[in-house]
Structure 1
């Protein structure tokens, strides 16, 4: 942005970033410039009249053709007469490329939305892309019916031609946002990227602790087989009345004074076998002996 006022340059820099400096190549008395750090500037446009557009062909001695695409705008003796430009936009663009037809000359008068008191600025461009969107822009400004808040953006365009050549340039784009009552004078700052968490060692997913449960009663997996004849003979010797009492008596050797020692000696081997089987049955809580 260029200006003839050093104070204005300083304030522009405070709003849009950058540093004010001398305009070494500037003419027209605009001695100061600010190279902003913005790709987009929020501006105010005072209706459709803020946009002036024409088609101009410059010659060695100045303008040799000036029209609106349909009629001449100058010189005075030709004003209002058909200019002869191609009716189709693409044909006009092709003719201008060949030097046979005028090019767009667009002047947008605006104020900085965050500091309208700084006065009017002019954005001037010969962009065919801007010329192509002029109709939509003017219609949008008419719908606002008053000062309109807009974004003036230098949009980056990158593409590769059919011959494989990379092309990169910026085109101006004006986007109508609304009225000053509904749109903030400054766009919200871009959100800072959330820093990625520091890498950490992989963790195993914790397994939930098992709920405490009451251990089930052990199921018997033993089958106790005892010779019934032998068990009855032991009961006769020990003087017991049932199988369980017989086994307990054998284990406790409660036999004193009740039977003959010789008979016990003869049966001792069998009783020890019964005791071993009974022990296994008692551990498995299976008192059924068959």
Structure 2
């Protein structure tokens, strides 16, 4: 179907401006001009409605408590992309990677961009080549009558997945349920320092007949606004930790946990559930008391991960 700005009721954002500086967020920020829509977003995703002081032209914003939202995407036409290079407020280059899209006198002519994505990234980093501009139009699966929302991203990681996403949406052959997430990426530099950031990820799940519309609850789903962090990658201080006695997961949650662990392992470059969980916690737990507390926490995590791994293999789990 044709996507129209007239039918869009709001936008999803991975960050916001604060004191003149861009800041990335741990959970989705939603902006809209409609107060009723903003209130409904807060009901669905947590957070509170507040005036949009970060600019962008829309009156209200909600800093939600969800880093993943289940959305309804109406086929491949809802996902579009182009490459653009700005010089100040003027567009210096606008193409689809093969031909110019503007200005009118150049439209349809070869743009001269490199064929390989890595070469395009290198040119963009030097300031001599365009960067991706990706648009996704969707509805919130749990409340489709709210209307359409837009998410715009310049992520090269998302750009790399466009061909696969297009193929997956075509296979559904109709409206597709997807998860739109801000996925945590944690890595260690050669100097041994741990850093983290979040990247937008769209996962095509299937048709509405085979996938539930509600977003599975996560640790972020408490009704509190998501904290913002500077876009420059920094370490985070831990919050208080409460020991939790694990229970054997149900079949549905086992499938979800298995998929989440696989995605985390790919991002962290780890193998095995214990190593993945421990690596993620090692990056998050950073404080002056890190040494003793983290050693104790790792022992607990190893035990929990061992139980989870047995459950995922279908083995019996001894109670402790």
Does 1:87 pair with 2:137? no
For CA contacts below 8 A with separation 6 or more, give which structure has more relative contact order.
2
Does 1:26 pair with 2:55? yes
Q: 2:19 aligns to what?
A: none
Name the SS of the counterpart of 1:78 in structure 2: coil
In structure 2, distance between residues paired with 1:62 and 1:157: 33
Name the SS of the counterpart of 1:92 in structure 2: helix
In structure 2, distance between residues paired with 1:112 and 1:147: 12
In structure 1, distance between residues paired with 2:244 and 2:186: 28
Q: Residue 245 of structure 2: which of 187, 195, 206 is its match?
A: 195
In structure 1, distance between residues paired with 2:104 and 2:88: 20
Name the SS of the counterpart of 2:136 in structure 1: strand
- Quickly say closer, same or farther: Cα 1:56–1:194, change in 2 above 3 A: same
Name the SS of the counterpart of 1:76 in structure 2: coil
Q: 2:32 aligns to what?
A: 3
Q: 2:254 aligns to what?
A: none
**Where does the alignment leave 5 or more consecutive residues of structure 2 unmatched?**
1-29, 220-242, 248-320
Q: 2:92 aligns to what?
A: 64
- Quickly say closer, same or farther: Cα 1:190–1:169, change in 2 above 3 A: closer
**Where does the alignment leave 5 or more consecutive residues of structure 1 unmatched?**
198-290
Stretches of 4+ moved more than 2 A in 1? 161-167, 187-191, 193-197
Q: Which has the higher strand share?
A: 2
- Quickly say closer, same or farther: Cα 1:189–1:166, change in 2 above 3 A: closer
- Quickly say closer, same or farther: Cα 1:195–1:161, change in 2 above 3 A: closer
1:202-217 equivalences under 5 Å are none
Q: 1:166 aligns to what?
A: 194
Q: 2:279 aligns to what?
A: none
Q: Residue 74 of structure 1: which of 94, 102, 105 is its match?
A: 102
Name the SS of the counterpart of 1:77 in structure 2: coil
The number of residue pairs the alignment matches comes to 195
1:265-284 equivalences under 5 Å are none
Does 1:37 pair with 2:87? no
Q: Residue 148 of structure 2: which of 75, 98, 120 is its match?
A: 120
Q: 2:46 aligns to what?
A: 17
Q: Residue 186 of structure 1: which of 214, 219, 224 is its match?
A: 214
- Quickly say closer, same or farther: Cα 1:61–1:194, change in 2 above 3 A: closer
Greater gyration radius: 1
Does 1:46 pair with 2:77? no
Which deviations, in whole Å up to 9, do the C-alpha atoms of 1:62-99 show, x marking residues without a partner? Answer: 21111111111111111111111111110100110000
1:144-155 equivalences under 5 Å are 144-155=172-183
In structure 2, distance between residues paired with 1:127 and 1:155: 12
- Superposition RMSD on alpha carbons, in Å? 1.8
* TM score, norm. by length of structure 1: 0.64
- Quickly say closer, same or farther: Cα 1:128–1:196, change in 2 above 3 A: closer
Q: Residue 96 of structure 1: which of 124, 133, 137 is its match?
A: 124
- Quickly say closer, same or farther: Cα 1:61–1:21, change in 2 above 3 A: closer
CA contact (8 A) 2:68 2:215 kept: no
1:206-245 equivalences under 5 Å are none
